[in-house]
Amino acid sequence: MTKKKFMFSCDVCGKQYQHGPHRHEGHRLELYGGIFCCDSCWEGNWDGWAPHCEQVLLKHLKEKGIPEPKRNKKGWLPRG
């Protein structure tokens, strides 16, 4: 078993999370060009991305030339 920790920054909130051997706290966001978010962002936005997260996500979509996904009934971007 390795003792080395692989730490990354959440692309949504900037918080550090561990993702690697024995810990998988990151979630790949396919709808947003494959960026990653931490467990806190993933679990806290289960019903769609809260409005305060939109700026970061829309920026990634624009940079990658990806169209904005259809919003849910709340008017929020889907978590995907």
Q: Is residue 50 part of a domain?
A: yes
Q: Is residue 70 part of a domain?
A: no
Q: Does residue 31 sit in helix, strand or coil? A: helix
The residue ranges of DSSP E strands in 1-80, in sequence order, are 7-9, 16-20, 23-24, 26-29, 35-38
Q: CA angle 13-16-25, nearest 5°?
A: 95
Q: Is residue 73 part of a domain?
A: no
For position 2, what pLDDT does the model report? 63
Encode pLDDT of 14-68 as tens digits.
999 998 887 889 999 999 999 999 999 999 999 999 999 999 999 999 999 999 9
Confidence class for position 74, pLDDT limits 50, 70, 90: very high
Count of domains in the chain? 1
Domain with 30 in it: 7-64
